[in-house]
Structure formats: structure tokens, C-alpha cells
Structure 1
Amino acid sequence: MLAEQRQQLILEMLAQRQVVKLKDICRQTGCSASSARRDLQILEEQGSLVRIHGGAKAKHDLQRELDMTGKATQNVSAKERIAQVAAAKIAREDVIFLDAGTSTLALVHYLQPSQHLTVVTNSVMHAAQLADQAIRTILVGGMLKNTTKAIIGTKTVHDIQHYRFNKVFLGINGVHDEYGLTTPDPEEAAVKQAALAQAEETFVLADATKFDAVSFVKVADLEQVTIITTELSRAVFDKYSGQTNILEV
């Protein structure tokens, strides 16, 4: 198993248990204790976990957010699988909203001009890619956030309130059974809330590592959305399936 695969598995274990032991990592991945320790050190340096004696625990940093470059290197294969399932939910001539973020950016690659879609987005990167694919695109106005390349602010929210969407696709930082869907930035949260309010149906694209995580600002209750995610442990699935519709890839 490659180091990147081991580290992804460690994060998935943490999402399910909140604490993992070194011996469990070695047993699950088939690696040596020294390799597991190196993986934990790398993940701690990335801010993904906190090392403790004999293992690691999940880290809940309420306001921390990676830039697009940092996000683009995380959980790449999971995002692609989630994006494929999300794309299958889109019907011909739908009007959709794509939230800024790498999970929704992965979805862009599966959209086709022949679908005759109208896509509204608050992401400069998404809009550029959609234009390259000859898909009708509306980029809402507002202030550009340099780190995530998202358009945010009161004008953004106001623009979104003029539209209605068949489907809305959102990325999210935290999925929690008590605190709901959360994200670090209040202004990005406001954009997500505005889009959700205009939607017939809302999908949240979130891999297994986002479960049991909490960020600074609540976006919505779990019952308001359908979550498309990677395979969850039975315990995590049972914990959340009573509150929201979960589609595992």
C-alpha cells in the first residue's frame, strides 16, 4: 500500500472512531510501526490529526481552511467517485448551482454540452472550466476570496436569490450528528445557505473524513440535504442515516 493510500485510510479510520491506535493502523494497512509513525507525523504537520501516545486523535480546528492547492491534493480518488455519482443525478436542461471547492470542481468534468444545462457558480475556477467545456455558465458577482477562489459577500447572496435551481451541489467541511453541516468561513456559509434556499434538491459532496467533524459556522441541518460520500463504517452509517439521506459510492 502506498503512503498516500495509508494516510487516506488513517483519516477514514479517524472519521469513524475519533481515536486510532498505532497497532490498528499497522493491522489495517499491513505496514510497519515506523511507517505508520511517519504517516501520523505527515498528517499532523498537515493539520489533519493530533498525535497521542500510541496513536492519534481527530483534530477539530473550527476556523482552519486549506487553500485550493492544498485541498486539491486531498482525497482525490474519493472526490472523483463522488463526482461521478453526483453527475448521474443531473437531468437534461437542469439549472444547477455549483458551490466553490475541489469536490464540486471534480463534478464539472462530467458535465456535457449535450445536456443543455445552465450552471450558476460562485467559483472563478469552476466558471473557467465550464466555459472551456462550452457549457452555459453564470458567474455571480461579489468579492473574490483569494484562498478558495470563491466569490462571496452580500452581492453574491443577493444575486443567488434571483435564481431557482433544480439541483444544488455543495462542498462542506464538517458533517456532525448534533451540529449539522458546518464550514469555517461565515461568508461562504451565507452563500451556501442562499443557494440551498433556492433549490428543489440539494446534494452535499463529502467523503468519509468529513463525518463527525465540526467547523465554525453552521450551514444547514442534515435533514435538508442528501449526502454523497464514500463508504462509511456500519456504525457511522447507522448514526447518520436516520437524520439524512446518504448515498455511498
Structure 2
Amino acid sequence: MSEQGSVRTKEIASLLSVTDETIRKDFEVLENQGFLVRTHGGAIPPKRALRELSLTERQLMNREAKNEIAKAAAQRIQPKETIFIDASSTALSITQYLPDFPITVVTNAHDVVSAVGGMEQVDLVSTGGLYEARSRSFIGAAAEKTLLRYNIHRMFFSGNGLDLQRGVSEGNSRQAAFKEHVIECAEDVCFLADATKIGQCSAFFFADCSQLSTLITSKGADPLVLEAVKNVGVDVISA
């Protein structure tokens, strides 16, 4: 697993000539002992699940897929809506494709403020709060209090992974807590996740699949996971 970065339940079951259920039970024991983190259909090493990448690192990963996802997300925005854009690298890409009509953008991301601050059609609201240098974003009680003043029509955000059983996760507990608050204030909750994040999980879970309105992903995402997400009422778009 350390070389591949993940293992699949079916592959291990076949290799050991045992049932999938046996492997799932073994994975549960190993997860409780801290040796791995279970995902839909397999497992990943705990270091991979827990490590939080900087925004700069994340911006270099899967850039083409993230841009296609961002384009599809921007097409959903309607005139005069209030939207929230989080500090994820995928959501940041939306700023390149914002429609040319009046909208309000609420964000906790320094880079989003920089990107849209000069756009005439955008009323920009920064949440303020405790600044976190690694993600270049604001979090904490002050940022959460700002959210309560706005009716957010659409929330665009990402995370480290989406697991069918446990939902959307983050590697940073404070980011996870903040996004949980945004979800409570949003009418349409749009999760942006390229194919590598589908079926994966990280350290801190903050949203069940059923809380999502829309999932926008890239080509190559696990079709079984996507179908299961659709079955709980989520609109799934492959960009």
C-alpha cells in the first residue's frame, strides 16, 4: 500500500483467496489500530489521509480537471445571487469563469479576494477572522459570525475526499468546522471534487453525502460511487 498509495478490497480478497467481507472486517480492525484509513472499496495509509497540503501544492495538482470542474460550476450561477467560494484550489478556479452580471461573492479566501476584488459586477464580502497562512484563508468564530448575515444561494467548496459511508472530509479540523457552518447557511451546496477524491477520505468529516445538492467531478471517477451518490438525491455532473 505504501508504494501504490491505496489498496482495493476486491484485489486483496482475490490475492488471499478470501471473501470481500473478511477483508472489510480486517480493514476495520487495522483502522482502529491506526494502521490505515478505510475508504469506499479499499483503504489508504494514515499519513496520506492526514497530511494537509498547502494551497500552492494543491494548485499544482490535476489542474486541467479542476479548470473543467470550475467552468461547469460557474455556469450554475444566476444573476444577483449570493455565492460562497471557499479556499480550495478547485473553487478558486471559479474566479476565472465568473459570469458577466451582478452577483455577490462571500469568501474566506485571500486569493479569491485578490482575484475578484476589481470586478465591477461583483459585490465582494470577505468573512475576516483568524488568518491561516497555509491555506491563505480566514477561519474561526469571527468568520463564522459573518456568514450568519447572508442568505447564500450557492456554496462552492472542495475537500480532501468523498466517502459514501462517512461523507466529505478535510485534513484540517478548523477548515472542516468552518465549512460545516457554511453548509448550514447555504441553499445549494455544491461540492467540487476531481476523480482522485471520489471514494477517498481524510481525517475530519464535516458533511454527509445527503447534505450535498450537487457534486461536480471529472472524468474517470468511480461510477459505482457516483451512482450511489445520485441515489441519495445529489445532482452529479461529470465535467
**With structure 2 as the length reference, what TM-score do the two structures score?**
0.77
The aligned counterpart of 1:234 is 223
C-alpha distance in 2 between matches for 1:58 and 1:19: 14
Deviation at 1:19, TM superposition (A): 8.9
For this pair of structures, how many residues does the alignment match?
A: 202
Is 1:183 matched up with 2:170? yes
**Counterpart amino acid of 2:215?**
I
Moved over 2 A (4+): 17-20, 57-63, 132-135, 231-241
Corresponding residue to 1:130 among 113, 116, 129: 116
Deviation at 1:230, TM superposition (A): 0.8
Secondary structure of 1:169 counterpart: strand
Consecutive unaligned residues in structure 2, runs of 5 or more: 12-35, 37-42
Corresponding residue to 2:82 among 56, 75, 95: 95
Is 1:217 matched up with 2:204? yes
Consecutive unaligned residues in structure 1, runs of 5 or more: 1-9, 21-49, 51-56
**With structure 1 as the length reference, what TM-score do the two structures score?**
0.74
Deviation at 1:59, TM superposition (A): 3.9
Deviation at 1:80, TM superposition (A): 0.5
The aligned counterpart of 1:74 is 61
The aligned counterpart of 2:107 is 121
Secondary structure of 2:190 counterpart: strand
Secondary structure of 1:91 counterpart: coil
Deviation at 1:58, TM superposition (A): 4.3
Deviation at 1:62, TM superposition (A): 3.4
C-alpha distance in 2 between matches for 1:163 and 1:90: 17
Deviation at 1:240, TM superposition (A): 3.0
Secondary structure of 1:215 counterpart: coil
1:36-86: CA deviation from partner (whole Å, max 9, x where unpaired):
xxxxxxxxxxxxxx9xxxxxx844533311111100100000000001110
**Counterpart amino acid of 1:177?**
L
